[in-house]
Amino acid sequence: MTRKFFGTDGVRGRVGEAPLTVDFAVNLASAAARVLAPEGGSVLIGKDTRLSGYMFEAALEAGFIASGLDVMLIGPLPTPGIAYMTRHFGCRFGVVISASHNDYHDNGIKFFDAEGGKLADELEERIEAELAKAPVTRSSNELGRASRVDKQRKHYQDFCISTLPKGMSLEGFKIVIDCAHGAAYKVAPRILTDLGAEIVPIGCSPNGRNINAGCGSTAPQLLQLTVPGVRAQAGIALDGDGDRLVMVDHLGRKVDGDQLLYVIAKARKEAGRLTGPVVGTLMTNYGLERALRALDIGFERAAVGDRYVLAKLRDTGGVLGGETSGHVLTLDLTTTGDAMIAALQVLAVMRETGRSLAELTAGLQLLPQHMVNVKVARRFDPASIPAVVAARAQAERQLGDRGRVVLRASGTEPLIRVMIESDDHREAETLANSIADVVRAVEG
């Protein structure tokens, strides 16, 4: 079945435009209740700080109660926190109202199963099939009840702290925390403060419209200025729903998801606590692959998207993976990518080794990348075009083990993405443009 509404991370779009309307949210709640909890039970609803979150929260609440489910409303909480609290409360499933790193005009609705994992494709397809039916309203004696459980957020804070070595504190650390005016604006600073760190908060004053606006993991420039300005040991930038992490070292330099994976993987390898291969994506920098190989750490690539990283980790028995954008998964600690838990693992390495973040990342040399996005009239598989295949093979012969070619169709736009990684940036640019010219000729 081709899914019409569910993408790689739930249903997402512009608020007020199909499908992100109140009517759709009520219908979606009713459909999800029939598929995920046909015999009743409870559901947890959490959200980020977008103004539209109140509207969708109310619509989903109505749909679930009308279907006979009890609703627990926890308010703003990071996506991974909702996954954890779904398990903690023993709910049949959990719901997140968020559009992650997008601006406030957008919103989304995604689900976790009872174990805090993302829904299987088959379940999402069944929910879509149920959307063709009218929402259910049970009789008065069969309706669910609603309760607010926002004071229970501390359970998630305590859980995050429990992922550190027992007794570890962050006393003596000054940390700048940027919450992107998003879902983590309450819990993230409290976690660091409870651990004894001195914090400098930015991006912690949401007004419903400023989520991800010039702040957070997608725009860490203010964080990069603030960390050296206040002489902090490190900076932490989260995205709007708290599952992406970018850090900043004491010199004000950005540390991306590939570098964070390197720091955590190396420390775990040295401690004998690394299981299975590290998993990245097609876009993970080749420099990370080479650095892990030098440490005798296996590395595998999945399709772009944290759900595909998760699937590959499960297939290979690995526990550590992620994306350059900052999704970092530590499956031995939690079920989904959690920015605060990942940040705590990095801070723990800093504490245990006495080394700065700059020193910990020094052993990883990222390769220069050059990306060309070729607009096409129709989406096609570049691997099916002999001329494109030949151009790629020629570039790969020239690069040898000094670099890598990535050639793929965008999953969301009519684009063919051509990326070259090479020790020589000029070579990367030349080869990328050469392959892009061949792709353009296909359209001609």
Question: Among 22, 23, 28, 26, which residue's Cα sits nearest to residue 4?
Answer: 28
Q: Could you tell me which residues come within 8 angstroms of residue 257 by beta carbon, excluding any fewer than 6 positions away?
A: 244, 245, 246, 322, 323, 324, 325, 326, 327, 328
Question: Among 80, 74, 20, which residue's Cα sits nearest to residue 43?
Answer: 74
Q: Which long-range contacts (CB under 8 A, 24 or more apart) does 387-391 make?
A: 387/438, 387/441, 387/442, 388/435, 388/438, 388/439, 388/442, 391/434, 391/435, 391/438
| 100 carries an active-site annotation | yes
Active-site residue, selected from the candidate residues 42, 100, 217, 422? 100
Question: Among 249, 244, 255, which residue's Cα sits nearest to residue 342?
Answer: 244
Measure the N-to-C terminal CA separation of the chain; round to a whole number of Å.
Answer: 33
**Beta strands 403-409; 369-375: pairing state:** unpaired
- Quickly count helices (H) and strands (E) in the chain: 14, 18
Distance CA 435, CA 444 (A): 15
Q: Where are the beta strands (DSSP E) in 282-375?
A: 299-302, 320-322, 328-330, 369-375
Give the distance, in angstroms, between the CA of residue 291 and the centroid of all CA atoms in the same chain. Answer: 23
Catalytic positions, written as ranges: 100
